[in-house]
């Protein structure tokens, strides 16, 4: 398990999807959650950086767990997810500050994600508001953006949640580039994805 | 006691008050407290509140379990001393942990006025009724330090200490010391490790200086010294050590040794960076860089203590917040660097006081056990505190000479040259 956390943590950092200390990963094992340590560097995870705590109940390890533990727990309790990747992808965050939902323009994004909702909250880190709102959206969508903060992606394994994160950022980079070029878009109308 | 349940226990304040026949100090305010910039203060408090509500220590661990949340965690790391520091793990830790309290004797929670954390545990037992505590340090001192894993007895002994004006840590560690003296047959009669039934009575005997309690009332240093066995007193500068085995937390060892008031965990809480990742996780077995971290913690904590601010909040928000709060409250601009300087002045002044009281560098040390006896098992196995290297660095970084005396240049810099 440590190898998986190390692999995807490192990839998230090297791909620029997280800054040095941002983001967190978790997996659900029955009624236990294994989550990265609060303040861990995802690019350099060690054994001490994986914290096991309860899904329903707190125990003493809670004080070492990621600040987003309450959101991870709520997602596991409200969805069928077994793995969660939380990242801070730069282009996706930029678009989340402009849009209420992100509609990928590229084929990969359109095929895989269709539409990514953007959720606003007064408090965006370790927030009770997100704990309440996010699970419902992640029942419907693979990945959701928190405005100005980052993404939460779910999967059955870490690789799956990592893929949605990587794919979203890739799509958002393309969208940002097309906006920068200011040419007329030569793609079909994407507004139908808004109904996804 | 403050606010009914919070004990100003350490360092002998109760004894000083008793000697002066001072029972209590009551404070009553009749005017409203005003601040220089209320709007700015509100904004900073709001921003700090965001972190306090988000951070797992202040939003979940402390509100749900209180400080006993540390019991299982530190036992697992092998830094939870047992039987007068003869071991660094305690087999009965789970029975006296924060989780165990929550499941057995918990009767709700409480906190200081307006505090969002509410870390105080209310408990209910047949011998205490509804009361607060015991906190992490008290659980340890009256429990594992004495080889005891009976939560009810620990709670009762803690309650008695609070009512009788005894410091729970010094009481427990002195009893633990006596137990080891009995175990080693240095003391002919006295308490034995694991004797839960006798603990409450012994606490009373210490308070009233009756029987064996009369010997123990002198504290561990005088108790062990009386029998020529000072090495079994787990104290620094006469103050008994708290609930961390520094052989598994090197910086904590340096912090204990250099604390101006003796064996205290609160001058430099190195368990923060060494075990809790506050503000960042560092290698707990390494000595490199620890002197600098200890100095910074001692300085900033001295300043924050002067603000009468809670240390748990300090685990969540940085000194930047405290500087901004102080600026907004007083109307005088303070930077975090100003707080460090204020703290450094306090620290050096305390040091000068100690030197005048003949507490020189020979007191900047630890009990021989921690320097010479490696931990026998568990995650800290084979470790001792490597104090010598860290201490030399500490003096140099402090701007003190090799004997731990502040150099004139440092005192001039701090405007303390008198």
Q: Residue by residue, what is the 3-state secondary structure of chain A? A: CHHHHHHHHHHHHHCCCCCCCCCEEEEEECCEEEEEECCCCHHHCCHHHEEEEECCCCCHHHHHECCCHHHHHHHHHHCCCCEEEEECCHHHHHHHCCCCEECCCCHHHHHHCCCEEEECCCCCCCCHHHHHHHHHHHHHCCEEEECCCEEEEEECCHHHHHHHHHHHHHHHHHHHHHHHHCCCCCCCCCHHHHHC
- DSSP single-letter state for residue B27: -
pLDDT of residue B212 exceeding 90: yes
Helix B168-183 to helix B199-208 angle, to the nearest 10 degrees? 110
In angstroms, rounded to a whole number, what is the distance separating the alpha carbons of residues B98 and B120? 12
Q: Smallest Cα–Cα separation from B150: which of B101, B190, B186, B188?
A: B101
* ipTM of model over 0.85: no
How confident is the model at residue B108, as a pLDDT? Answer: 94
Which architecture does CATH list for B1-25+65-243?
A: Orthogonal Bundle (1.10)
pLDDT of residue A137 exceeding 80: yes
Which residues of B fall within a CB distance of 8 Å from A60? 61, 65, 69-73, 97-99
Query: Which residue in this structure is represented by tokens 């709060």?
Result: B325
- Among B54, B99, B281, whose Cβ lies nearest the Cβ of A59? B99
- Among B50, B56, B69, whose Cβ lies nearest the Cβ of A69? B56
Query: Which residue in this structure is represented by tokens 């009976």?
Result: B150
**Nearest C-alpha of chain B: how many angstroms from A59?**
6
Q: How many C-beta neighbours within 10 Å does residue B201 have?
A: 16
For residue A65, give the chain B residue with the closest CA: B56
| Mean pLDDT lowest among A63-72, A93-102, A181-190, B222-231 | A181-190
Which residues of A fall within a CB distance of 8 Å from B59? 70, 126
Residues 6+ apart with CB under 8 A from B283: B274
Q: A126 and B55 in contact by Cβ < 8 A?
A: yes
Q: A62 and B281 in contact by Cβ < 8 A?
A: no
A182: region left, alpha or beta (phi > 0 left; psi from -120 to 50 alpha):
left
- Among B50, B69, B99, whose Cβ lies nearest the Cβ of A63? B69
What b-and-e string marks burial along A112-147, b requiring 16 or more CB atoms within 10 Å of the CB? bbbbbbbbebeebbbbeebbebbbebbeebbbbbbb
- DSSP single-letter state for residue B184: T
* Structure token digits, residue B164: 């009788």
Q: Is the dihedral of CA B112, B115, B120, B121 positive or negative?
A: positive
How confident is the model at residue B133, as a pLDDT? Answer: 87
* pLDDT tens per residue across span B319-355: 999 999 999 999 999 999 999 999 999 999 999 999 9
How confident is the model at residue B220, as a pLDDT? Answer: 98
In angstroms, rounded to a whole number, what is the distance separating the alpha carbons of residues B249 and B294? 12
In angstroms, rounded to a whole number, what is the distance separating the alpha carbons of residues B178 and B147? 12
In angstroms, rounded to a whole number, what is the distance separating the alpha carbons of residues A24 and B92? 33
pLDDT category, B211, cuts 50, 70, 90?
very high
- Across chain B, what does the average pLDDT equal? 95
Residues 6+ apart with CB under 8 A from B353: B260
How confident is the model at residue A186, as a pLDDT? Answer: 72
Q: Do B81 and B240 meet the contact criterion of CB atoms below 8 Å apart? A: no
Q: Smallest Cα–Cα separation from A25: which of A14, A37, A16, A15?
A: A37
Long-range Cβ pairs for the range B213-217 (8 Å, 24+):
B215/B178, B215/B190, B216/B174, B216/B175, B216/B178
Instruction: Tell me whether residue B297 is exposed, middle or buried, using C-beta atoms within 10 angstroms of its C-beta: 0 to 12, 13 to 18, 19 or more.
Output: buried
Q: B53 and A69 in contact by Cβ < 8 A?
A: no
Mutate to test the interface with A, among B50, B52, B53, B54 (most CBs of A within 10 A): B54
* pLDDT tens per residue across span B57-73: 999 999 999 999 999 99
**What is the percent of chain B with per-residue pLDDT over 70, rounded to a whole number?**
100
A175 interfacial to chain B (CB closer than 8 Å): no
Biggest alpha carbon–alpha carbon distance for chain A: 57
In angstroms, rounded to a whole number, what is the distance separating the alpha carbons of residues B153 and B225? 29
Which residues of B fall within a CB distance of 8 Å from A128? 53
In angstroms, rounded to a whole number, what is the distance separating the alpha carbons of residues A7 and A1? 10
Q: How many C-beta neighbours within 10 Å does residue B36 have?
A: 12
Q: What is the mean pLDDT of residues B267-295?
A: 96
Please report, for chain B, how many H helices and E strands are present, in that order: 21, 5
The helix (H) or strand (E) run that includes residue B181 is helix B168-183
In angstroms, rounded to a whole number, what is the distance separating the alpha carbons of residues A32 and B97? 19
pLDDT category, A129, cuts 50, 70, 90?
very high
For residue A38, give the chain B residue with the closest CA: B277
How confident is the model at residue B418, as a pLDDT? Answer: 66
* Structure token digits, residue A148: 């100005």
Q: B73 and A66 in contact by Cβ < 8 A?
A: no
Q: B276 and A37 in contact by Cβ < 8 A?
A: no
- Among B65, B97, B276, whose Cβ lies nearest the Cβ of A64? B276
Q: B70 and A70 in contact by Cβ < 8 A?
A: no
pLDDT of residue B265 exceeding 70: yes
pLDDT category, B288, cuts 50, 70, 90?
very high
For residue B279, say if its preceding peptide bond is cis, omega within 30 degrees of 0: yes
| 3-class secondary structure, B87 | strand
Q: B73 and A65 in contact by Cβ < 8 A?
A: no
Q: B73 and A38 in contact by Cβ < 8 A?
A: no
pLDDT of residue B241 exceeding 80: yes
Per domain, the residue ranges of chain B are 1-25+65-243, 245-418
Quote the pTM value. 0.92
- Among A48, A58, A65, whose Cβ lies nearest the Cβ of B64? A58
* pLDDT tens per residue across span B105-126: 999 999 988 899 999 999 999 9
Q: What is the mean pLDDT of residues B383-387?
A: 98
Q: Do B296 and B280 meet the contact criterion of CB atoms below 8 Å apart? A: no
How confident is the model at residue B3, as a pLDDT? Answer: 79
Residues in chain B whose beta carbon is closer than 8 A to a beta carbon of chain A?
50, 53-57, 59-62, 64-65, 69-73, 97-99, 276-277, 279-281
Pairing state between β A143-146 and A116-119: parallel
Q: A67 and B55 in contact by Cβ < 8 A?
A: yes
Q: Smallest Cα–Cα separation from B262: which of B399, B158, B363?
A: B363
**What is the percent of chain A with per-residue pLDDT over 90, rounded to a whole number?**
89
- Among A64, A66, A123, whose Cβ lies nearest the Cβ of B50? A123
Under CATH, which number does the domain B245-418 receive? Answer: 1.10.599.10
In angstroms, rounded to a whole number, what is the distance separating the alpha carbons of residues A167 and A144? 12
| 3-class secondary structure, B25 | coil
Which residues of A fall within a CB distance of 8 Å from B54? 67, 123, 125-127
pLDDT of residue B196 exceeding 80: yes
Which residues of A fall within a CB distance of 8 Å from B57? 63
């Amino acid at each position: 398990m440590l190898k998986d956390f190390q692999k995807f943590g490192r990839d998230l950092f090297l791909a620029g999807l997280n800054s040095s200390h941002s983001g967190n990963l978790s997996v659900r094992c029955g009624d236990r959650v294994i989550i990265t340590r609060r303040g861990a560097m995802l690019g350099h995870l060690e054994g001490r950086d994986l914290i096991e705590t309860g899904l329903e109940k707190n125990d003493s390890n809670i004080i070492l767990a990621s600040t987003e533990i309450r959101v991870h727990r709520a997602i596991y309790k409200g969805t069928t997810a077994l793995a969660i990747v939380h990242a801070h992808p730069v282009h996706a965050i930029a678009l989340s500050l402009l849009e209420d939902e992100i509609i990928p323009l590229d084929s990969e994004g359109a095929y895989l994600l269709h539409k990514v909702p953007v959720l606003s909250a007064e408090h965006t880190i370790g927030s009770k508001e997100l704990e309440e709102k996010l699970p419902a959206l992640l029942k419907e969508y693979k990945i959701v953006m928190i405005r100005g903060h980052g993404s939460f992606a779910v999967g059955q394994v870490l690789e799956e949640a990592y893929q949605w994160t990587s794919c979203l950022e890739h799509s958002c980079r393309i969208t940002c580039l097309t906006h920068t070029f200011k040419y007329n878009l030569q793609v079909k109308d994407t507004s139908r994805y808004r109904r996804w | 006691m403050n606010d009914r349940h919070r004990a100003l226990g350490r360092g002998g304040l109760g004894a000083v008050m008793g000697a002066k026949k001072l029972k209590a100090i009551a404070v009553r305010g009749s005017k409203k407290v005003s601040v220089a910039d209320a709007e700015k203060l509100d904004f900073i408090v709001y921003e700090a509140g965001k972190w306090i509500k988000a951070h797992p220590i202040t939003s979940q661990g402390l509100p749900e379990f209180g400080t006993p949340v540390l019991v299982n965690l530190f036992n697992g790391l092998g830094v939870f001393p047992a039987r007068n520091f003869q071991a660094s793990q305690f087999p009965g830790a789970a029975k006296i942990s924060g989780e165990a309290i929550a499941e057995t004797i918990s009767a709700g929670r409480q906190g200081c006025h307006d505090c969002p954390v509410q870390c105080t545990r209310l408990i209910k037992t047949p011998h205490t009724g509804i009361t607060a505590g015991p906190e992490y340090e008290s659980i340890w001192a009256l429990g594992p330090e004495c080889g005891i894993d009976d939560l009810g007895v620990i709670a009762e002994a803690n309650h008695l200490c609070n009512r009788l004006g005894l410091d729970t840590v010094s009481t427990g560690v002195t009893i633990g010391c006596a137990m080891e003296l009995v175990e080693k047959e240095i003391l002919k009669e006295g308490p034995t490790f694991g004797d839960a039934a006798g603990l409450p009575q012994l606490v009373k005997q210490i308070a009233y200086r009756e029987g064996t309690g009369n010997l123990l009332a002198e504290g561990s240093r005088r108790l062990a010294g009386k029998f020529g066995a000072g090495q079994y007193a787990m104290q620094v500068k006469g103050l008994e050590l708290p609930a961390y085995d520094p052989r598994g937390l090197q910086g904590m060892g340096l912090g204990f040794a250099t604390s101006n008031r003796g064996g205290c965990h609160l001058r430099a809480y190195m368990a923060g960076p060494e075990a809790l990742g506050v503000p960042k996780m560092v290698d707990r077995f390494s000595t490199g860089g620890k002197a600098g971290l200890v100095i910074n913690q001692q300085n900033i904590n001295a300043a924050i203590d002067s603000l009468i601010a809670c240390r748990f909040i300090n685990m969540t928000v940085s000194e930047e917040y405290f500087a901004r709060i102080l600026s907004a409250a007083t109307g005088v601009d303070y930077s975090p660097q100003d707080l460090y300087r204020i703290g450094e002045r306090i620290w050096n002044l305390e040091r000068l006081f100690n030197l005048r009281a003949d507490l020189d560098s020979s007191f900047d040390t630890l009990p021989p056990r921690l320097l010479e006896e490696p931990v026998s098992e568990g995650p800290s196995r084979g470790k001792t505190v490597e104090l010598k290297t860290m201490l030399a660095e500490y003096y140099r970084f402090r701007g003190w000479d090799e004997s731990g005396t502040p150099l004139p240049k440092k005192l001039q810099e701090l405007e303390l040259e008198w």
